[in-house]
Structure 1
């Protein structure tokens, strides 16, 4: 009897939550959600949070890594995004979500070497303990989130791929992230809010 009542209670709670639009899963952010801030170690040893950027209008948060061929193919595009949009108030924040125990080429030391080799102009943070990427719902490297700062909140406005050509930069026809940020800078909402992130799975033990 107790088991039956417990089952009925759980089902009722799920129905009520659904009726009132309450999320019952942990799949990450959706468009319009407020992203929580974080504090992660950068390659220079400093701790970086979104709140450090008092003058930012928003952020281009990209989950990427050293090793995935798709991530490597997008490195120059990520650098270009930061160069173009940081002066406009939308800096790139790159986060490596891979567990270095599962992927030894994604250690902090090798992240530092990668950043030096490529001349990264943006923070390259390690998601130590892999606590942040599940909050966002990132599944691939690279996986991009465009956030707009509204007061003390960071509202998710775009989720997905950087553009429509995951491996070949010369074949890009539609620049999803650029279009999203341009729309926000013009006081509009992105026309395309979500796309499929194409890349490697995030490495965990």
Structure 2
């Protein structure tokens, strides 16, 4: 299935990463969490590297670096993502991945609107800020992170504001994206919805 790209966008902790991995596994497609690109750049800036320099020098191995899922790196990723030159430096990497043979699933915040505007299927996965914050809190708490629920909610809201209000590639659904609200859905139900939508497109629906 050459060039069959699936774009999955949405805010932090909406479940798009888990859903994207499951969808990719179901169809046997390659998967790219594009947020890791920005996390890898953000992690380098925390070590003192200038953001644009970090983006231009990024290699695939950087996506396997330790500590990319920490709150500090997440905030750094959100900060570098508003820099137009950083986004431009990472576009080619993402588009080349999307065009690979055998099908590809990309998840992020501007896949359907900027990176793959011609993707065969576009999904926008969301949930209420409170639900997303609770998910993130439980995830961090399980890792021993001392953040409170209030702090995590404030962090989610700050990231939403940055992502949605940035001038370059703001977070928003593509006009032809199908919305999946996971606030009251199990991951199994969300994946089932996504698979049904994709299969309808695969079959010419």
> Normalised by the size of structure 1, how large is the TM-score?
0.26
By percentage of residues, which structure has more helix?
A: 2
Higher Rg of the two aligned structures: 1
By percentage of residues, which structure has more strand?
A: 1
For CA contacts below 8 A with separation 6 or more, give which structure has more relative contact order.
2
